[in-house]
Amino acid sequence: MGSDRYWRYATAWALLLLSLLLGERYVRDWLYRADAPRPVVPRAELTATERLAAELFAATAPSVAYIFTRDGVGGAAGTGSGFVWDRAGHIVTNSHVVEGAGEVVVVLDRDLALPARVVGTAPWVDLAVLRIDSRIAELRPIPVGSSADLLVGQKVFAIGNPFGLTRTLTEGIISALDRRLPTAAGREVAGVIQTDAAINPGNSGGPLIDTAGRLIGVNTAILAPAGTFAGVGFAVPVDTVNRYVPLLIRDGRVPLPGIGISVLPEEAAIRLGLRGVAIQAVQPGSAAARAGLRGVDQLGRLGDVILAVDGRPVASLADLALELERVGIGATASLTILRDGRRRQVEVEVQDIG
C-alpha cells in the first residue's frame, strides 16, 4: 500500500518536472523575445584617438579625388587617387596613375565627374599635376607639412580609393624613413616614407597625412607579392612634392639633372669586378662629351666607369642620378672614373636632360 503511494507521488513529480522542462523554452520565448525595435543604449564619449581620426577624415576627405582614366579608344584604363593642391584647380596624383591615358576624369563629389587636363608629369619621382575647372566645385587644398622632421613610430593616416571604394581612411605609423623607391628610367626617389597604413591598388596618388592633418607624403606603391597590402607601403615625401609640383604647374615639366650619357646594365660592371656606373655611350654635344668622357668603343672595349661623384661612391644609375641632383643643374661635379685600369678625376657640368 505504502509502496504504491510512493510510486504515484514519484510519477506525479516526474511528470511535473518534465512538463516544466518542456514548457520552459516556450515560457522563455514568450518572456524574452524581442519582436519590437530594441531601445538604443547611449554610448560613451569617443576616445581621443577616435575623435582625432574622425575629425581628420571630415577635414581632409573633401580634398581627396577619385581619378579614373580612359585609353585613346574610350576604354577604361585605370583608377587612382589624388588631392587638391590649390584653389586654381590643380590636382596632384602619381605619374603612373595617368600614364598613357587618353582621357582623365576627376571625381570630387559623388555626382560630379570633371574632365581633367594633364599639366605635367615627373615620372622619375612618380608625380603628376592635373587641372580641373575650378569654377565648378568648391576646392579645399590640404595643408602642407614637412617630411624633414618625421619620426619612425609617429601616427599617420592615408585616404584614397582602394579598389574603387571612394574616400577610404586607413591608419598606421611611419615604419621607416629614407627608403629609396625605383621609378622610371632606372631612377629612384630618395627619402621615401614607409608606412603600415593600409595602401592598396587605387590608393596611388592619395595623401598621407599626420595627426595635425598636414600632407606629409603622396602614397605611391606597395610591397606585396600578390599586389595587395601586406603591411609595407611607400609614399613620396612631401618635401619632394613641394619642390616639384610648383615647377610642374609653372612650366609643365621639371628639369632633370644629368650629364648626357647612357649606361651599361649594372651586371656588366659586376662581371668585370667593378662597383660603378659603366658608360655605354656619350651623347654628342652633351656635358659628358665636353668633359671628354668615353663610352664603349667600336670594338666593344669598355669605356669609362664612374666610381664616385664628389667623393661619394655610386654603384648604379640611380645612385648617379641622386648625386647629380644633389650637385644641381648648372653646377660642376667632380667624377672619379676608371679608365684603362687607372683612376682619374674629371670635372663635368650637370645639365638639364629632361
- Residues labelled catalytic: 96, 126, 204
- Can you tell me the distance from the alpha carbon of 200 to that of 195, in angstroms, rounded to the nearest whole number? 12
Q: Rounded to whole angstroms, what are the CA distances from 162 to 6, 198, 205, 211?
A: 76, 9, 11, 21
Structural element, H or E, at residue 215: strand 215-222
- Residue 118 CA, chain-centre distance (Å), reads 19
Give residues with Cβ within 8 angstroms of 19, minimum separation 6: none
Phi then psi dihedrals of residue 246, to 5 deg = -60, -35
Chain-centroid distance of CA 47 in Å reads 29
Pairing of strands 233-237, 215-222: antiparallel
What residues contact residue 108 under an 8 Å CB cut-off, 6+ apart?
62, 65, 66, 84, 114, 132, 137, 139
Taking phi over 0 as left and psi of -120 to 50 as alpha, with beta for the rest, 322 belongs to alpha
Say if residue 5 is exposed, middle or buried (CB neighbours under 10 Å; 0-12, 13-18, 19+). exposed
Name the amino acid, one letter, at 160: G
Q: 229: which 3 cell numbers?
A: 597590402
CA distance 153 to 171: 12
At CA 10, angle to CA 5 and CA 15, rounded to 5?
130
Residue 234 per-residue DSSP state? E
